[in-house]
Each structure stands twice: as C-alpha cells, then as structure tokens.
Amino acid sequence: MCTGRVDFTHILRSFADGCDGVFVGGCHLGECNYITNGNYHAQNMVALTKKLLERIGLNPERLRMAFMSGAEANLYTEHVNSFVKKIKELGPLGVMEGIGKEDLDARLAELIRQVPYIKIMTNEKLAKQLTNHEDVEKLFTTEDVEKLFSEKISYYIDPEKCQACMTCARRCPMDAIISAKKEVHIIEQDKCIRCGACFAACPPQFSAIVKLVGQPAPPPLPEGQRAVVKKSKEATA
Ligand code: SF4
Ligand code: SF4
C-alpha cells in the first residue's frame, strides 16, 4: 500500500526474475497517508538503485518512479505508457547492455547479497526528505557508489585476542558467527551483513574484533586449531 515498503531487494529480484523494467508508482510527496512519509524514502531508494544498476552495467532507465494520487488515473496511464514505450526501446534486459544471461544473473545475485550492507551504509541519506528533484539526483553520485564498494567494510575476529566470551555471537542478527565454548569465534563472511553489532559488543578488555576498510578479512583459523589461550594462563606461562 505504500512505496515506503518497496525495498531494493524487490526491485533487484524483479530484474533477476527477468523483468525488463520496473516502475514504482507513489503518492505525491507531502501527501503520504502515513506518518512515515515513505514515498520520500522510496524516492531516495530508487535514486540509489539506479546508480547500483549502472554500476553492474544495466541501463538505469529500466527503473522509474513517478508520483500520482489515487484519483489521477490519467496521469498513471500516461506514466505507464511512457515507461512501457521506453522499455520497448531498450529491449530485453541485458541484451542492449551486452551482458550474457549467466553474467547478468551473477551480477544481480551479488548485488542482492550486498543489500543489507548497502542499507546500513546509506541509512542516513535514505531518510532525507527531499522535495527538489535536482537534490534527489545529486544525493548519490557515481563516486559515492564506487566508494561504497571500494572502501567496503568487513569485520574479523583476531584469534590472538578472542576469549570466547560469546557476547558477539549472541548479538549477531544473522547468526554469522561460529561460536563454540573455549574456541576462538569466527565470522562467516558470506553470512555477515556488516552491521557492526559484534564490533560494538566485544568487551573492551578483549577488543578482539577488527574493522577492516577496503580489504578482505584474513582466512579463518582451520577447525581443530581454534582453542582459546586464556589471557591469564598466557601471562603465567
Ligand atoms: S558485522 Fe558482526 S554482528 Fe553484524 S552480521 Fe556481521 S558478524 Fe554479525
Ligand atoms: S565478543 Fe570478542 S572476545 Fe567475546 S567471543 Fe566475540 S570476539 Fe571473542
């Protein structure tokens, strides 16, 4: 019922399922039926998704948002007809862009996997209530989007410091931390959404979680070599 509910994932999955274009129709700005003013958020989310599509080689014109009220059937028809015309000009997804199906599927799947991270990193900008179209256009630049990926954050548990207190594993919303008693904890990088909750939760006396920017996390300790060396024992050794 509200464009505020439309998520990056809905749009990207539509493309992944073979749609050649996605149209998001929302209420006029300032006329949201809910206190959330979700259409502002949707407008920013669409602007960023266009940049993300561009980054993976797709024409951003395949995604469009327009505003209209429930009483403006003519306006809705105009917008949809104009969008359909544009999509017909662009042709099937990936063909005009010269991207093979397998490659396109892989690019979209990877982008979908990054959505939680993208949301966390852009949360503040996504919440802006912009009324000027030019401001929306400038909200996410190509450079901003590049930076999002080149300076990508990841978290790593330093095996020398982890004391297996299990605090991080309890806080992780994705169950992305391999947690066993008396064993160094391990972040499963492909499950991690980089929310930083574990980083904030690790007790300061251990400070075992490292925030890495623009570099991959080192490989985890192999199973069987994860026994924790307690700090106190280490000191008396
Ligand atoms: S950053 Fe930490 S808490 Fe957040 S998903 Fe990754 S492992 Fe879990
Ligand atoms: S919170 Fe820190 S010390 Fe405790 S298990 Fe996690 S990484 Fe190890």
Query: Nearest C-alpha to atom 8 of ligand 1 is from which residue?
Result: 172
- Pocket residue to mutate for ligand 2, from 155, 160, 165, most atoms within 8 A of Cβ: 165
Reported as half-sphere exposure (CB side, CA atoms, 13 A), residue 105 has a value of: 5
The candidate with the shortest Cα–Cα distance to 119, out of 187, 190, 51, 45, is 45
- Residue 64 backbone phi and psi in degrees, to 5: -140, 145
Is the distance from the beta carbon of residue 198 to the nearest atom of ligand 1 less than 6 Å?
yes
Is the distance from the beta carbon of residue 210 to the nearest atom of ligand 2 less than 6 Å?
no
Q: Residue 148 in contact with residue 121, Cβ under 8 Å? A: yes
- Pocket residue to mutate for ligand 1, from 152, 179, 195, 213, most atoms within 8 A of Cβ: 195
Is the distance from the beta carbon of residue 197 to the nearest atom of ligand 2 less than 6 Å?
no
Is the distance from the beta carbon of residue 197 to the nearest atom of ligand 1 less than 6 Å?
yes
From first to last of its 237 residues, what are the pLDDT tens digits of the chain?
789 899 999 999 999 999 999 999 999 998 888 878 899 999 999 999 999 999 999 999 999 999 999 899 999 999 999 999 999 999 999 999 999 999 999 999 999 988 988 998 999 999 999 999 999 999 999 999 999 888 889 999 999 999 999 999 999 989 999 999 999 999 999 899 888 999 999 999 999 999 999 888 999 999 999 999 776 544 444
The candidate with the shortest Cα–Cα distance to 170, out of 153, 185, 190, is 185
Ligand nearest to the CA of 190: 1
Dist CA 176 CA 191 (whole Å): 5
Dist CA 105 CA 168 (whole Å): 34
CA 186 to centroid of ligand 1, rounded, Å:
11
Domains of the chain: 3-149 (no CATH), 153-230 (3.30.70.20)
